[in-house]
């Protein structure tokens, strides 16, 4: 499973999403963070049709299993899919 977190510097909810990503990383989960204000992050967000931040998607074998757009879910909600 792969967790992708899309964020931007001026987003008030994004620090919480990034913090959640760091917690998941420390627990050994595969997490990628993308700043959509940077070229790589923007390209990745366009590929996944990300229109708001923060956005969190969970992929398994490149297939979307779960997604949250414009909100930060509880960590227990994410762990249901991991």
Per-residue pLDDT of 8-66, as tens digits, reads 999 999 999 999 999 999 999 999 999 999 999 999 999 999 999 999 999 999 899 99
Query: Which residue stretches of the chain are H helix?
Result: 14-26, 39-47, 75-79
**Quick one: pLDDT at residue 72?**
95
Provide CATH code, domain 2-79.
Answer: 3.40.30.10
Side-chain half-sphere exposure of 33, counting CA atoms within 13 A = 16
**Quick one: pLDDT at residue 67?**
96
Query: Which residue stretches of 27-65 are H helix?
Result: 39-47
Q: Please tell me the distance from the alpha carbon of residue 36 to that of residue 33, in angstroms, as a whole number.
A: 10
């Amino acid at each position: 499973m792969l967790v992708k977190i899309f964020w931007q510097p001026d987003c008030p909810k994004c620090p919480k999403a990034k913090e959640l990503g760091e917690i998941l990383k420390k627990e050994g989960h595969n997490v990628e963070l993308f700043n959509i204000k940077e070229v790589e992050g923007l390209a990745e967000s366009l590929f996944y049709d990300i229109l708001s931040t923060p956005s969190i998607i969970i992929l398994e074998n490149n297939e979307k299993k779960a997604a949250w757009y414009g909100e930060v879910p509880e960590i227990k909600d994410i762990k249901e899919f991991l």
